[in-house]
Amino acid sequence: MKMIVYDPFWETLKKSGESTYTLIHNHNISSATIDRLRHNRGISTLKIDDLCRILNCGVADIIEYKKEAGSA
């Protein structure tokens, strides 16, 4: 089970009026980064910073930590 997920990113993106197309073509976010977000794979803090700047949001609007079931 993934513990860091990017579920909040997609809602934030929708509310922002931006799209994956504009992130790639207007803001130079790579399609590989978008793919990593889609599949809850790690991205750098630099990319998180870029997304926060572009979407005018905080880190919690991009990533979420989900505690693994059964963890103390």
Digit-coded pLDDT (tens) for 16-46: 999 999 999 999 999 999 999 999 999 999 9
Report the CATH architecture of 4-65: Orthogonal Bundle (1.10)
Instruction: Give the number of other Cβ atoms within 10 Å of residue 67's Cβ.
Output: 9
> What is the pLDDT, as a whole number, of residue 72?
55
Q: Are 63 and 13 in contact (CB under 8 A)?
A: no
Helix (H, G, I), strand (E, B) or coil at 41: coil
pTM above 0.75, yes or no: yes
| pLDDT at residue 7 greater than cutoff 60 | yes
Average pLDDT of span 58-66: 96
Q: For the chain, which residues make up each domain, given as ranges?
A: 4-65
> What is the pLDDT, as a whole number, of residue 67?
82
> What is the pLDDT, as a whole number, of residue 8?
97
